[in-house]
Structure 1
Amino acid sequence: MASLPQTNRSLFFRYRRPRTVVHLNIADFAVAVERRVDHRLKDYPIIIAPEGSARAVIYDMSEEAFRAGVRKQMPLQNAIRCCPDAIILPPHPDRYEMAMTDILREVLPYSPLIEPGDMDGHLFIDITGTSRLFGPPVDVAWRMYQVIKKNLCFAPVWSVSPNKLVSKVASRLVKPNGEYIVGEGEEAAFLAPLPLYLLPGMERDDLLKFRELNLGFVHQAAGLTNDQLSVIFGKRAGFVFDTVRGIDVSAVLSADQKPPKIIADHGFGNDTNEVDVVERVLYQLVEKIGLTLRKTGKAARLLAIVLDHSDGVRRVRQMSVSPPSANDMSLFKTARSVLYMAWTRRVRLRHIRLICENPVFPPAQMDLFPDPVLQKEERLIKAMDHIRNRFGQDMIHMGRALAS
């Protein structure tokens, strides 16, 4: 969720137009789709996981399986021990994509600003300013629920609030069935009694830092000033300050306006925890992203890494690139730092993904005293791009990207 600089926050809230954001959440979406296809699955514990793989992890599970201890990304063998009576089905991404398309079609008449999740049954709908057409926001949300239930046989949880952050938390409180309405100006009071782990965007490291201070609830964290949070969280202080107060100015994007990102990933044939192997693969991923950035004339300002361990645990970390860059060597320094932020377990790695979020145009102003080392790196990368464009991508490599 986006946050505002402290100096601009008061002006924003003085002149902004009140917003209304609806959040629809079809609990256990993949299971709901499978039950719509086969009604005999209703009320049975369902586990969705790839078939025929010894290392399969849980894609989704029903509420019955969840109560038995099954969790997403859990190894399938462990899940079966938790819930031996479960019916195991393979994932059908085509079905889930089609179901999301059907849901979008049902709610599109109410607003063009609909931000869907990634085939997971989540949607944010901004209905700000539509009261004259469709009536009060709560009535609009109720009609969306009714039309989806009638036409598609889904029963989504729904919530209404002034922003995406609060709407998402409200939906979490009433999952798997129910609705919640949070009015304008009630955001902070609504969040105050809740545990911090319910807040979207709160990472595990954030919660650990709060725990060290014996803080576990939102109202306790909201008692800290921005300066105090800066000591604890550094650059994330602004985000934490806004989040615990229910402040979220991020816009609801239309379905065709997802934030741009460049993704490169690698699956290890044999799970590994060898530093040299992982760093070599990471540099190869950096080269792919760097090449795409340079071709589009963009620069990375934020890199994120997703690590999947062999036991099904996933770790995600990110870091800003300052200044924004498309230089492979500069990007690798940041990517390497993010890698070791995420890679804190001894369990072997199965898969690594590098993500460049929201690439930007490079800074227009040239440095008054340019770094000669950086200039040399830029010339080298430009020469390598020229060779690859003329003779092929495999004609020249950096030594650190080659297997020893």
Structure 2
Amino acid sequence: MAVERVLDHRLDGRPVIIAPQGAVRATVYDMSEEAFQAGVRKQMALGQALRRCRDARVLPPRLHRYGKVMERMRKAALPYSHLIETGEDDGHLFVDITGSGRLLGPPVDVAWRLGRHIQEDMNLAPIWSLASNKLIAKTASRLVKPTGEYVVEPGDEAAFLSTLPLYLIPGIESGDLTRLGDFNITRVFEACRLTVDQLQAIVGQRAPFIHDRLQGVDLSPVRRTGQPPPKIVHDIAFGDDTNDREQVERCLYRLVEQAGRDLRRQTLAARRIGMRLEHSDGVRRIRQVAANPATANDFTLFAHALRVLTLTWIRRTRLRRMTLICDRLTYPPAQRPLFTSERRHMEKQDRLVAAIDCIRRRFGARAVNLGRTLVA
């Protein structure tokens, strides 16, 4: 939005919506503060947005422009840190300045100098916030829009979050808000009174993730510039080359269990499942399938893994190595299946996987084994 107003000053002070025009199911990509105050939100249907803000001007998204500006901002931040991460097309730039105090001065001064540099170089007035992790920094930036800055001192995260409405917390989706709202829970301090088990009864498998968000816990690091996105990779080398389908599927499920356990430990879900097969003659094949919605459930992951195995394994030559790749990682989705039977089936699977995880944490990974992983 700021880029559009720099290019066209006639937009200053007017409600503006950025959305593709002419598309049947167009949704809002971004909006001005004036449109936001009128009730317009990101990902809202354009027709609904225009009913809420009838005098808004609609502009098509110019992604190439926004990409150029973000790259220019990234280059402006490089003298301050090599740990720079851009947000997911949301105009955010995370800069990790940990340990740079002796060289660059206090963090507040660094943030102020960087903001002034961007303003002078690009005629943009960036919002900036300073905090101990990305979650708190992004939340703080939402409080000072459209202009301003916010500093959350280390140790003040819980007090900072406690009185905020839940919709301001990044990662908490509309489905979560609806279910929590059914219990008249609308603010962080109200939800913080609940244990993880109590939250799970309301929001399902997203309970650990939401609990961490409400406590201000975000362990995700700022990725180095150019660093590839994170992914979960597990592989197995067969002792004797094989083309026994049952043996391969048995080993595949073990890989799925390891990947699922890693995903749930990091409170993430995979949006894509890939596989790499290496045959005894050295030929390698790689295939992948999308997981929609994203998942960290072993049973759902295994169903996707079987699909990609069928796509990848088309040769009769024996297999030597199999690699499972879970990438395009994201937070567990809040959206649940529409039909009651499907929703109950998914919730039952989630509870079963959670129970197995609990037993294995207490008694070891070998405490529970599924029948398909055992040799007949």
Shorter-chain TM-score tier: 0.5 to 0.7
Question: Aligned partners of 1:104 and 1:339: how far apart in 2?
Answer: 29
Measured at CA, do residues 258 and 45 of structure 1 come closer, stay the same or move farther in structure 2, by a change above 3 Å?
A: farther
Q: Determine if contact 2:18/2:59 at 8 Å carries over to the other structure.
A: yes
Question: Aligned partners of 1:65 and 1:196: how far apart in 2?
Answer: 21
Where do residues 79-228 of structure 1 align in structure 2 (5 Å cutoff)? 79-228=49-198
Q: Determine if contact 1:303/1:321 at 8 Å carries over to the other structure.
A: no
Q: Deviations over 1:142-173 (max 9, x none)?
A: 11111111111111211111111111111111
TM superposition shift of 1:342: 4.1
1:50 matched to 2:26? The reply is no
TM superposition shift of 1:230: 4.9
**What is the aligned counterpart of 2:210 among 193, 215, 240?**
240
Question: Aligned partners of 1:103 and 1:328: how far apart in 2?
Answer: 42
Measured at CA, do residues 177 and 370 of structure 1 come closer, stay the same or move farther in structure 2, by a change above 3 Å?
A: same
State the match for 1:64 in structure 2: 34
State the match for 2:372 in structure 1: 371
Question: Aligned partners of 1:340 and 1:247: how far apart in 2?
Answer: 19
State the match for 1:327 in structure 2: 306
Question: Aligned partners of 1:237 and 1:339: how far apart in 2?
Answer: 11
Q: Determine if contact 1:159/1:167 at 8 Å carries over to the other structure.
A: yes
State the match for 1:318 in structure 2: 294
Per the alignment, in what secondary structure is the counterpart of residue 318 of structure 1? Answer: strand
Q: Determine if contact 2:86/2:94 at 8 Å carries over to the other structure.
A: yes
Measured at CA, do residues 369 and 120 of structure 1 come closer, stay the same or move farther in structure 2, by a change above 3 Å?
A: closer
Paired letter, 1:196: L
Question: Aligned partners of 2:166 and 2:335: how far apart in 1?
Answer: 22
State the match for 1:293 in structure 2: 275
Q: Determine if contact 1:112/1:254 at 8 Å carries over to the other structure.
A: yes
State the match for 1:388 in structure 2: none
Per the alignment, in what secondary structure is the counterpart of residue 327 of structure 1? Answer: helix
TM superposition shift of 1:258: 4.8
TM superposition shift of 1:182: 0.9
Question: Aligned partners of 2:198 and 2:104: how far apart in 1?
Answer: 45
Q: Deviations over 1:330-368 (max 9, x none)?
A: 99xxxxxx99954539xxxxxxxxxxxxxxxxxxx9x98
Question: Aligned partners of 2:165 and 2:285: how far apart in 1?
Answer: 43
Question: Aligned partners of 1:84 and 1:146: how far apart in 2?
Answer: 36
What is the aligned-residue RMSD (CA, Å)?
3.8
Unpaired runs of at least 5, structure 2: 233-270, 278-283, 311-331, 340-365
Paired letter, 2:275: L
Paired letter, 1:151: D
The count of aligned residue pairs is 280
Measured at CA, do residues 59 and 289 of structure 1 come closer, stay the same or move farther in structure 2, by a change above 3 Å?
A: closer
Q: Deviations over 1:375-400 (max 9, x none)?
A: 9xxxxxxxxxxxxxxxxxxxxxxxxx
Measured at CA, do residues 121 and 368 of structure 1 come closer, stay the same or move farther in structure 2, by a change above 3 Å?
A: closer
The TM-score, its normalising length taken from structure 2, stands at 0.63
Per the alignment, in what secondary structure is the counterpart of residue 165 of structure 1? Answer: helix
State the match for 1:344 in structure 2: 338
Measured at CA, do residues 188 and 36 of structure 1 come closer, stay the same or move farther in structure 2, by a change above 3 Å?
A: same
Q: Which has the higher contact order (CA 8 A, sep 6+)?
A: 1
Q: Deviations over 1:218-255 (max 9, x none)?
A: 12222233454455555433323322221221111123
Per the alignment, in what secondary structure is the counterpart of residue 145 of structure 1? Answer: helix
Question: Aligned partners of 2:370 and 2:41: how far apart in 1?
Answer: 54
Q: Determine if contact 1:149/1:155 at 8 Å carries over to the other structure.
A: yes
Paired letter, 1:125: V
State the match for 2:220 in structure 1: 250
Per the alignment, in what secondary structure is the counterpart of residue 180 of structure 1? Answer: strand
Per the alignment, in what secondary structure is the counterpart of residue 150 of structure 2? Answer: strand
Q: Determine if contact 2:275/2:308 at 8 Å carries over to the other structure.
A: no
Question: Aligned partners of 1:163 and 1:297: how far apart in 2?
Answer: 40
Q: Determine if contact 2:84/2:94 at 8 Å carries over to the other structure.
A: yes
Q: Deviations over 1:192-212 (max 9, x none)?
A: 111222222223343344334
Measured at CA, do residues 227 and 120 of structure 1 come closer, stay the same or move farther in structure 2, by a change above 3 Å?
A: closer
The TM-score, its normalising length taken from structure 1, stands at 0.59
Which has the larger displacement, 40-49 or 135-144? 40-49
Question: Aligned partners of 1:369 and 1:343: how far apart in 2?
Answer: 26
Paired letter, 2:169: L
Q: Deviations over 1:60-82 (max 9, x none)?
A: 22222333343333443444444
TM superposition shift of 1:123: 1.2
Question: Aligned partners of 2:196 and 2:47: how far apart in 1?
Answer: 46
Q: Determine if contact 2:206/2:334 at 8 Å carries over to the other structure.
A: no
Question: Aligned partners of 2:333 and 2:148: how far apart in 1?
Answer: 40
